[in-house]
Amino acid sequence: MLQFGIFDLSLDEILLLFQDWWVVGWILIASGLLAAVWLLEKITDPIPILDQLFNFLMAIGTYLGFFVGLLDMAVGYVIYTTNPSSTIVAAVLVIVGFSLSMRLLSKFPLAIMLAAAGAAFGTFTIYGWVKPFTTIAIPEIAAIATQIVSLKGLLIIFFVIFSVLYVLGGLIIKIIQLIGKVFASHPVSVLVGLVAIGLGIVVIVAPNLLSLTAWPTPP
């Protein structure tokens, strides 16, 4: 029987895998390459092998970058909470992670997606709460409950919740999208990527320059 040990690890044990400056350094470099891939692709045009590599990274970078960005922000949070002297490293990881993840998210209408998700959750919650009342002994209440859990009733509930969430969350989402588009733009993304690559190299080669301390021993 196949066993995949990583799936048996606790969250704390998984996070310990990233509590190593060598690992953090390479995460910074890899994330920086994804963030700056547009510039790197232009620079390596005359070199066939490198050009093909960066063309491939550009093709999958938006989708791969989303997951790498989430990892960056998670590792940045771990560093910030466990190694307070490494604020710069944590901040760069969070920024480059946000830039990478927003490449994909900025392509979708977030307000509609979040409103639809909230409306679906609210509709199913109401359905689960009201359904038992359809068999209650009081005919008036049973009739109202039956109308609510009917397809027509659930569609009305969904539309009402969706409309409220869309109106309330629209402005906030637009602000987030605007910030995301700025960070996902080529100039900002390339700048953030180059900073991440440079910082990653320093973390690996000369961590003392950043006054990086040893990771705390887990209890």
Segment 129-155, tens digit of pLDDT:
887 887 777 878 888 888 887 878 888
Minimal CA–CA distance to 35: which of 92, 75, 88, 74? 92
- What is the reported pLDDT for 3? 46
Nearest CA to 27 out of 149, 201, 156 is that of 201
- Contacts of 10 by beta carbon, 8 Å cutoff, 6+ apart: none
Q: φ and ψ at 71, to 5 degrees?
A: -65, -45
Which has more confidence, 183 or 35? 35
Contact criterion met (CB below 8 Å) for 192 and 69: no
Domains of the chain by residue range:
5-210
Q: Where are the alpha helices (DSSP H) in 131-150?
A: 139-149
Task: Write down the pTM of the prediction.
Answer: 0.60
Q: So what's the pLDDT on residue 107? A: 64
Banded pLDDT at 120 (limits 50, 70, 90) = confident
So what's the pLDDT on residue 2?
A: 42
Nearest-angstrom CA–CA distance, 99 and 9: 29
pLDDT, tens digit (0-9, with 9 covering 90-100), for 165-212: 777 766 666 676 677 667 667 777 778 888 888 888 888 888 777 777
Closest among 71, 79, 18, 30 to 212, alpha carbons compared: 79
